[in-house]
């Protein structure tokens, strides 16, 4: 995956520099303020959207020089009338030059938050779901993608906040480094890589079992068992041809990646790619699709793109799927430590009940939440995943902490058995873009606070 700084272009869909305030404070001030505001932030559905812009964008709009690689964090909100007061309180809480003002700022934040919570839900929903197709954002994507060479750093910034659906296939291929940023080379490279996939399928998959080892036969059988279980609540994935495509992709990937081979859960990771790349050829929603409407050549092209993008994604998480999956175990430990620091009462309650984070969070990391939230939200979530680049594994810790603490109040009331049942059947069926954006917003804020002092996540 491409290496990039974590970035988030305007969550609100339009730039509003009058509301932007750069947050660039020393670690000491972060830690000092954090102790006072973390209790207000934990588990709260903040109405705003975190905004990350280049510092050069804030200072110079002339574009007369190369933009700085430094970033400035600021907060932006969709509903200016109900959120300006929170924005101002957050800015003052982080940027106040006087240590004596800390309590005053926290009180302002508490008061502002209370006011917002008393507003109607309708006022808080505004344009969150429509942001990815906002005309201003579409123009920004179009400008970046139309260049002879795509500036990947800018593309990562834009993609973090969501990608217009019809642009998603092209953007995902670029974010993952599968398609080259140089437009002159792109078509040739994609053609070559697609042919390479077909050659691999012919060499490894389209052969009789007599030419496979016992381990390969067992692996293929396991894949064949898992494919019908993939996203069972979406009928599209129950089509026989779809399952056959999944089987070819997974088996070919496993053979060509012997260090890990096939691991249960990787089948889930193919599904977002399959849906996104199918959307280039099929109209409507996945609920109405039939893969039989496509020619074998188009299916092969889609499979190849899924295969290579899966490979690029997992290249950045290799130790998540090797023996004993040490990468996932390490991130589960970090998640436990982060939750302890953000919400100590929840952490203590779970510990008192004897609940281990591995009992529920292992699946989250293994399948990247695909089994935890409605499938129609997955592509939007993965826009942010892919925009994170090589930083994704560490940022997952913050996303999953935010996800878990969505139910902070409920978790503290449950005993061990109830906790296990609740976390295995989370009430997300009716989630919309709004709930997902809240999770990502909190994750970004917490990363801004905690990542400058990473000792709290030290494994040694």
Q: How far apart are CA 420 and CA 242, in angstroms?
A: 33
The most distant pair of C-alpha atoms in the chain lies apart, rounded to whole Å, by 77
Find out whether 221 and 238 touch, Cβ atoms under 8 Å: no
For 211-268, write each residue's pLDDT tens digit: 999 999 999 999 999 999 999 999 999 999 999 999 999 999 999 999 999 999 999 9
Residues 136/14, Cβ–Cβ less than 8 Å: yes
Q: How far apart (Å, rounded) are the C-alpha atoms in residues 245 and 249? A: 6
For 42, 281, 372, the CA distances from 357, given in Å and listed in that order, are 18, 41, 15
User: How far apart are alpha carbons 54 and 384 in whole angstroms?
Assistant: 18
Question: Structure pTM?
Answer: 0.74
341/42 Cα distance (integer angstroms): 10
pLDDT tens string, the chain, 460 residues long: the values are: 544 444 433 333 333 333 333 343 444 444 444 444 444 344 333 333 333 333 333 333 333 333 333 333 333 333 333 334 333 434 443 443 333 333 443 343 334 334 333 433 333 333 344 565 688 999 999 999 999 999 999 999 999 999 999 999 999 999 999 999 999 999 999 999 999 999 999 999 999 999 999 999 999 999 999 999 999 999 999 999 999 999 999 999 999 999 999 999 999 999 999 999 999 999 999 999 999 999 999 999 999 999 999 999 999 898 999 999 999 999 999 999 999 999 999 999 999 999 999 999 999 999 999 999 999 999 999 999 999 999 999 999 999 999 999 999 999 999 999 999 999 999 999 999 999 999 999 999 999 988 866 555 544 4
- Angstrom distance (rounded) from CA 360 to CA 245: 30
Instruction: Spell out the SS3 assignment of 330-376.
Output: HHHHHHHHHHHHHCHHHHHHHHHCCCCCHHHHHHHHHHCCCCCCCHH
Q: Which helix (H) or strand (E) holds 51?
A: strand 49-54
DSSP string, 399-460: HHHHHHGGGHHHHTT--HHHHHHHHHS-S-TT--HHHHHHHHHHHHHHHHHHTTSGGGG---
- Domain at 183-315, CATH class: mainly alpha
The domain spans of the chain are 183-315, 326-457
pLDDT tens column, 191-205: 999 999 999 999 999
Residue 49 has phi, psi (to 5 degrees) of -125, 130
As assigned by CATH, the class of the 326-457 domain is mainly alpha
């Amino acid at each position: 995956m491409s290496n990039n700084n974590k970035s988030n272009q305007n969550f609100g869909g339009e730039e509003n520099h009058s509301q932007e305030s750069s947050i660039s404070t020393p670690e000491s001030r972060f830690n000092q303020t954090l102790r006072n505001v973390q209790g207000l932030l934990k588990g709260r559905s903040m109405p705003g959207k975190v905004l990350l812009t280049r510092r050069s964008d804030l200072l110079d709009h002339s574009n007369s020089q190369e933009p700085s690689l430094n970033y400035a964090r600021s907060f932006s909100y969709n509903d200016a009338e109900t959120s300006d007061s929170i924005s101002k309180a957050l800015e003052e809480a982080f940027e106040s030059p006087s240590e004596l003002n800390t309590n005053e700022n926290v009180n302002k934040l508490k008061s502002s938050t209370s006011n917002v919570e008393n507003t109607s839900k309708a006022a808080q929903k505004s344009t969150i779901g429509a942001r990815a197709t906002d005309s201003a954002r579409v123009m920004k994507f179009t400008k970046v993608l139309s260049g002879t060479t795509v500036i990947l750093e800018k593309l990562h910034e834009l993609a973090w906040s969501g990608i217009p659906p019809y642009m998603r296939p092209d953007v995902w291929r670029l974010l993952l480094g599968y398609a080259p940023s140089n437009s002159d080379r792109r078509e040739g490279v994609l053609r070559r890589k697609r042919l390479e996939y077909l050659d691999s399928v012919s060499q490894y998959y389209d052969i009789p079992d007599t030419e496979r080892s016992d381990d390969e036969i067992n692996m293929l059988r396991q894949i064949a068992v898992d494919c019908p279980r993939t996203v069972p609540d979406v009928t599209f994935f129950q089509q026989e041809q779809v399952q056959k495509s999944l089987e070819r992709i997974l088996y070919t990937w496993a053979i060509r990646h012997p260090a890990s081979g096939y691991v249960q859960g990787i089948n889930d990771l193919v599904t977002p790619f399959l849906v996104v790349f199918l959307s280039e050829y099929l109209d409507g929603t996945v609920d109405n699709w039939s893969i039989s409407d496509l020619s074998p050549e188009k299916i092969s092209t889609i499979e190849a793109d899924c295969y290579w993008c899966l490979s690029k994604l997992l290249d950045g998480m290799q130790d998540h799927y090797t023996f004993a999956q040490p990468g996932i175990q390490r991130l589960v430990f970090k998640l436990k430590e982060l939750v302890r620091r953000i919400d100590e009462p929840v952490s203590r309650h779970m510990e008192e009940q004897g609940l281990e984070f591995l009992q529920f969070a292992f699946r989250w990391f293994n399948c990247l939440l695909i089994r935890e939230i409605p499938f129609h939200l997955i592509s939007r979530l993965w826009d942010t995943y892919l925009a994170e680049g090589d930083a994704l594994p560490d940022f997952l810790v913050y996303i999953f902490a935010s996800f878990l603490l969505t139910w902070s109040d409920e978790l503290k009331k449950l005993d061990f058995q109830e906790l296990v049942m609740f976390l295995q059947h989370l009430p997300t069926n009716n989630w919309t873009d709004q709930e997902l954006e809240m999770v990502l917003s909190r994750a970004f804020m917490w990363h801004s606070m905690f990542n400058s002092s990473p000792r709290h996540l030290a494994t040694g």
